[in-house]
Amino acid sequence: MKHRFRNNLLYYLLVCTGSLVLILPYRMALLLGKMLGAMAYYFAARDRKIAIDNLTSVFGNEKSPREIKSIAKKVFVNLGVNTIEFAFLKKTRGKNIDDIVTVEGFEHAENAFAKGRGIVACSAHFGNWELIAVYFALKGFPVNVIARKIRFEKFNEMLNNARRANKINVLDRDDAFKQAIRHLKNNEVIAVLGDQDVRALDGVFVDFFGRKAYTPSGPAVMAMLSKAAMLPILILRDGYKHKIILQKPVELPETGDRKKDILIMTQRYSDAIALYIRKYPEHWVWMHKRWNTKEQGASN
């Protein structure tokens, strides 16, 4: 009952906020998002502690406790602004996407698409990651996102309806693999977030900021089976605007050892993600227990 009450309260708060966003000027709406994010930092004690602990484990020798807390707060603020920006798309239906989003490395997507084998777009919970799929869908790419079903049905439907309204097809993470391969063979985009420890998914342990992190291997397997291009893609926030960064395709290794090839590819896209997280730590969701699953026999 307690969780049901909390979920319903949050849901209707989001509905009211979304309605308010539609009548506010864009920049004023984003200020509201910043306020909501800052409030979440102070009230979400558990998530705040996880974020600070994770940041300390990575940057403890480089940054002061005060700097780490400042970064953690910015993470929450970023998420608050993300929510407002996504809600604002309902008002514009993406008509202003070029006013707020620029792209670097777009030729990598164009070249991959021209080969006709699809694209496995590997991203992370970094910046406003939802805008990546929106941008490419609005530019005419057939985009499918693999998403975890949120247990609270109202939240789940609200988010997926917003995605579909922006021409994005949603694949349930628990039943997505065969569908994803079919979409790749039709020369479509499969967008995945491969930066979290999800024990329910097949994965491998790769180095992530000097520690072994259990990482989904699905993106690598999909790219190997379909011969699709695997493109690491991230999005940077720059004030009121964003910049999508497409890195070069991850090379498909051919060692003759399938398990080794999967590990190599997963490590390569994880390195591509970590490169930008280190540069822009306030963009990433540090409140996730990224190193929760331990490798058998490991002590870290």
* H or E stretch at 83: helix 65-92
* Integer Cα distance of 158 and 154 in angstroms: 6
* Share of residues in the chain with pLDDT > 70 (%): 89
For the chain, give every domain's residue range: 2-283
CB 161 within 8 A of CB 185: no
In the 8-state DSSP scheme, what is residue 21?
H
Q: Which residues pair with 208 in a beta bridge?
A: 211
Q: Which residues pair with 284 in a beta bridge?
A: 126
Does the structure show a pLDDT above 90 at 27?
A: no
Query: Coil, helix or strand for 228?
Result: coil
* Integer Cα distance of 135 and 108 in angstroms: 15
Task: Report which of 155, 127, 160 is spatially closest to residue 145, judged by C-alpha positions.
Answer: 160
- Reported as a pLDDT band with limits 50, 70 and 90, residue 275 is very high
CB 286 within 8 A of CB 72: yes
Query: Among 18-22, 123-127, 148-152, 199-203, where is mean pLDDT lowest?
Result: 18-22
CB 192 within 8 A of CB 218: yes
- The residue with tokens 């490798």 is 295
pLDDT attached to residue 12: 60
